[in-house]
């Protein structure tokens, strides 16, 4: 019985850590330029990052995230790419 309680305790203790590690691993693989290229051109012509200011992209990306059905991580990667390339 003590072994079972100890095992459950260890699982509960490390569960949040494993979730955080897996989310970080998933997000590291996101390439904002690739997400931008694969999604934004579906509805309109390519936009160069320097066509808009960082402030404008901060407004545009959340709006387009909904329309393009991007995840929050994908939208953040796109915004990071746009700001870096601007």
CB 30 within 8 A of CB 74: yes
DSSP-assigned letter for residue 52: S
Residue 7 domain boundaries: 1-29
User: What confidence score (pLDDT) does residue 4 get?
Assistant: 72
CB 50 within 8 A of CB 85: yes
CB within 8 A of 81, min separation 6: which ones?
A: 31, 32, 33, 35, 36, 49
User: What confidence score (pLDDT) does residue 75 get?
Assistant: 96
Residues 14 and 48 in one domain: no
User: What confidence score (pLDDT) does residue 64 get?
Assistant: 93
Residues 38 and 65 in one domain: yes
This prediction has a pTM of: 0.65
Residues 22 and 39 in one domain: no
- The 10s digit of each residue's pLDDT in 33-86 is 999 999 988 888 888 999 999 999 999 999 999 999 999 999 999 999 999 998
- pLDDT over threshold 80, residue 10: no
């Amino acid at each position: 019985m003590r072994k079972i309680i100890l095992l459950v305790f260890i699982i509960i203790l490390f569960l949040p850590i494993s979730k955080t590690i897996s989310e970080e691993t998933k997000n590291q693989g996101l390439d904002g330029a690739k997400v931008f290229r694969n999604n934004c051109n579906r509805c309109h012509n390519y936009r160069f990052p320097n066509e808009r200011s960082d402030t404008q992209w901060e407004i545009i990306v959340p709006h387009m995230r909904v329309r393009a059905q991007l995840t929050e991580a994908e939208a953040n990667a796109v915004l990071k790419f746009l700001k870096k390339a601007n």
